[in-house]
Structure 1
Amino acid sequence: MKKLAILSIVFLSLFSCKDKKSVSDTVISEEISDEMVPQKTYAEISIAQGGEWVDGTRGHKEYNAGTSFKNVDSLQVPKEHTDHSWFIRYEGPGWENSQVGYRLYLDWRNAIDIFGKKVDSIVLPYVGQDGFDSYHEPSPWGQDILKAGNSMGIGGYGRVVADSVVHFQTVKNTFAYVENSEKSSSINISYEGWESGDDTIDLKAKLTIFPIDRYTKAELSPSDEITGICTGIVDHGVTFHKKEGETWAYIATYGQQTLASPPDNLGMALFYKLDEVAEQKKGDYEHLVIFKPTTAAITYYFLAAWEQELNGIKTEDAFLTDLDLKLQALNETNSIN
């Protein structure tokens, strides 16, 4: 971690969170590829410092005149924070391994987005440093490749109430912390007083990535039994697949559904345990998996496979073959990892 920390400190000191000055792609590429620490997974939360909360132009508070970003082990999300408030680098926590990266919007949207990677080294410390949303543009490491829109993105979570997905518009407190070890990296989030429909509950979420493969293991722990807790995959109108085994099943999409220019092929999949699920159906913005009421931990997996990934999956057939092998492993051992 030492070299990564040194590089991050040097890099962070160069930019303010809303600074639009760009860094040359050559510098970023060299720093990512040159003798990086042999770290296999990584998770982070990075917040702006040196500025202050002010009234913004979009009707909510914004963090203004930040001088740099600082990584923190944990974060009590400020009451002022919402979407596009310029406080959390790339708007929430991120996690990655050598093949793929993800981020969660730590605000009312609570969707999960994808960082497609063209390199096999750790890149998150550099993402969003040269302009708050610069990661939407192609770079040597890759880019943000998913348009979540009004959906939960890939593997995000919410609640179906009256046939609509309620996100996290009303939460009393949100607390997040990261864990990094040799075997995995995790984002842990505790939502206190989440209001949806006529119910108010607490919800704990843990999102874990492992050194090998593209999947994230998601674990949700509700404090009360309520109907409608759900996850899903954003629907971009491409090919949809569904397959059930004895105890586990998956839904998946494949096709030209990225933010790359022109759009290129991306496969997304979500694995779920059949006895934990009440219904799988099409929602307004995503393919939904709706869980049964429970206070036990709900476990599912999600993954993204981008064709520009280094040595990645290039065809729909290869993607489905990969999913079938994972489904077989889940049905035989109840685990992929």
Structure 2
Amino acid sequence: MKKLAFLSLIILSLVSCKEKKSESNSEAKAEQKSEMRSSSKSYAELSIAQGGKWIDGSRGHKEYDGGTSFKNVDSLTVPKEHTDHSWYIRYEGPGWENSQIGYRLYLDWRNAIDIFGKKVDTLVLPYVGQDGFDSYHEPSPWGQDILKAGKSMGIGGYGRMVADTVAHFRSVKNTFATVKNSDGYSTINISYEDWKTGDDSINLHAQLTMYPNDRFTKAELTPSKAITGICTGIVDHGVAFHKKEGEKWAYIATYGLQTLASPPDNLGMALFYKLDEVAEQKKGQYEHLVIFKPSTETITYYFLGAWEQEPDGIKTEEAFIQDLNKKLEVLDKTNVLK
């Protein structure tokens, strides 16, 4: 009888521990869901496929086959096999968002930046691309991928002008990325080792920062060597183009029917840059370009998108330009947007 009583106590204890652990897990999941519902945060993530293997793909390059799930990681050395459409990184690179808009960077040779237009003011990226690799191209209740980058750098991507052509990141020895979420901002850091363009090879560090409020991303590029032609831009879809210079800063912007929505609807895109850091602003083959002066100092610029379907968002070209002019005034006075 004593043994039975003792065994009963052990079983009750184990059941109690299991229930507490289950409650703890449920509370953690509830807390995570609550956090994702919050509309006053920024968020960044990087998610890779699990459970598969690299195979020779039908497009002549390696593909990650048989992945059964995705896992978020804080850092990643990009595998040598990874390229565009290799099905390894969820939505092809790191993503970042706040309540108004989301972005993603293709973490492969293209290195373009794309826009996730949002119809809701909650954080959505953890759910994007989970129900089919490129399902985000289709309209959904949260929104969709709205920008066609094509052969351009998208919005705020970076590359190098070589012989009147933008060189992307086809030749890089190693690419290392990290993501971090803090109370006041979210950051993505990417280090490119031995990036070869033309006759030059450099290391390049890029930091992309998003804040809980407003639509812009702060971009900071630090080259290891001063070379000509490092650039950024806005993809040219043949809509209205705007340019304005302030005392220290300037912007270029586009506005019009230039989204992947069906039918296309209005999207505004803009780049803010320091006048003393820029060698030239001109029209390129696929984008409106901002070309920076050679330097080893950190180059700083901001980019943003404003979609008309965003809740309580900017709905007209006039309102978009008014918003940009206010930001230009702030930059001229303070050198920073937050």
Q: TM-score, normalised by structure 1?
A: 0.91
Contact in 1 for aligned 2:39/2:98 (Cα 8 Å): no
Compared CA separation, residues 43 and 8, structure 1 to 2 (3 A): farther
Q: How far apart, CA to CA, are the structure 1 residues paired with 2:240 and 2:309?
A: 19
1:223 paired residue number: 224
Compared CA separation, residues 5 and 143, structure 1 to 2 (3 A): farther
- Where do residues 180-191 of structure 1 align in structure 2 (5 Å cutoff)? 180-191=181-192
CA deviation after TM superposition for structure 1 residue 3, in Å: 8.2
Compared CA separation, residues 297 and 57, structure 1 to 2 (3 A): same
2:54 paired residue number: 53
Contact in 1 for aligned 2:111/2:153 (Cα 8 Å): yes
Task: After superposition, give the CA deviation of every residue in 1:155-177 in whole Å (9 maximum; x if it has no partner).
Answer: 00000000000000000000000
Compared CA separation, residues 248 and 163, structure 1 to 2 (3 A): same
Contact in 1 for aligned 2:39/2:99 (Cα 8 Å): no
CA deviation after TM superposition for structure 1 residue 39, in Å: 5.5
Pick the structure with more helix per residue.
2
Contact in 1 for aligned 2:40/2:213 (Cα 8 Å): no
Residue type matched to 2:188 in 1? I
Q: How far apart, CA to CA, are the structure 1 residues paired with 2:87 and 2:28?
A: 23
Compared CA separation, residues 79 and 197, structure 1 to 2 (3 A): same
1:140 paired residue number: 141
Q: How far apart, CA to CA, are the structure 1 residues paired with 2:207 and 2:118?
A: 23
CA deviation after TM superposition for structure 1 residue 37, in Å: 4.5
Q: How far apart, CA to CA, are the structure 2 residues paired with 1:85 and 1:8?
A: 33
Compared CA separation, residues 64 and 268, structure 1 to 2 (3 A): same
2:301 paired residue number: 300
- Where do residues 280-319 of structure 1 align in structure 2 (5 Å cutoff)? 280-319=281-320
CA deviation after TM superposition for structure 1 residue 36, in Å: 2.4
Residue type matched to 2:29 in 1? I
Q: How far apart, CA to CA, are the structure 1 residues paired with 2:31 and 2:217?
A: 25
Compared CA separation, residues 244 and 35, structure 1 to 2 (3 A): closer
Residue type matched to 1:336 in 2? L
Partner of 1:129, secondary structure, is: coil
Partner of 1:156, secondary structure, is: strand
Contact in 2 for aligned 1:171/1:195 (Cα 8 Å): yes
1:205 paired residue number: 206
Partner of 1:322, secondary structure, is: helix
1:83 paired residue number: 84
1:259 paired residue number: 260
Compared CA separation, residues 6 and 39, structure 1 to 2 (3 A): farther
Equivalences, count? 314
Work out the percentage of aligned pairs sharing the same amino acid: 76
Partner of 2:46, secondary structure, is: strand
Compared CA separation, residues 34 and 262, structure 1 to 2 (3 A): farther
Q: Verify: 1:41 aligned to 2:64, yes or no.
A: no
CA deviation after TM superposition for structure 1 residue 303, in Å: 0.2
Compared CA separation, residues 58 and 5, structure 1 to 2 (3 A): farther
Gaps of 5+ in 1: 10-30
Q: TM-score, normalised by structure 2?
A: 0.90
Structure with higher Rg: it is 2
Compared CA separation, residues 41 and 35, structure 1 to 2 (3 A): closer
Q: Verify: 1:249 aligned to 2:253, yes or no.
A: no
2:75 paired residue number: 74
Q: How far apart, CA to CA, are the structure 2 residues paired with 1:69 and 1:59?
A: 24
Partner of 1:130, secondary structure, is: coil
Task: After superposition, give the CA deviation of every residue in 1:218-241 in whole Å (9 maximum; x if it has no partner).
Answer: 000000000000000000000000
Q: How far apart, CA to CA, are the structure 1 residues paired with 2:26 and 2:122?
A: 13
Q: How far apart, CA to CA, are the structure 2 residues paired with 1:54 and 1:193?
A: 26
Q: How far apart, CA to CA, are the structure 2 residues paired with 1:4 and 1:330?
A: 43
Compared CA separation, residues 166 and 4, structure 1 to 2 (3 A): farther
CA deviation after TM superposition for structure 1 residue 336, in Å: 1.4
Task: After superposition, give the CA deviation of every residue in 1:62-115 in whole Å (9 maximum; x if it has no partner).
Answer: 000001000000000000000000000000000000000000000000000000
Pick the aligned partner of 1:6 from 26, 29, 44.
29
Residue type matched to 2:324 in 1? L
Task: After superposition, give the CA deviation of every residue in 1:202-230 in whole Å (9 maximum; x if it has no partner).
Answer: 00000000011000000000000000000
Residue type matched to 1:270 in 2? L
2:280 paired residue number: 279
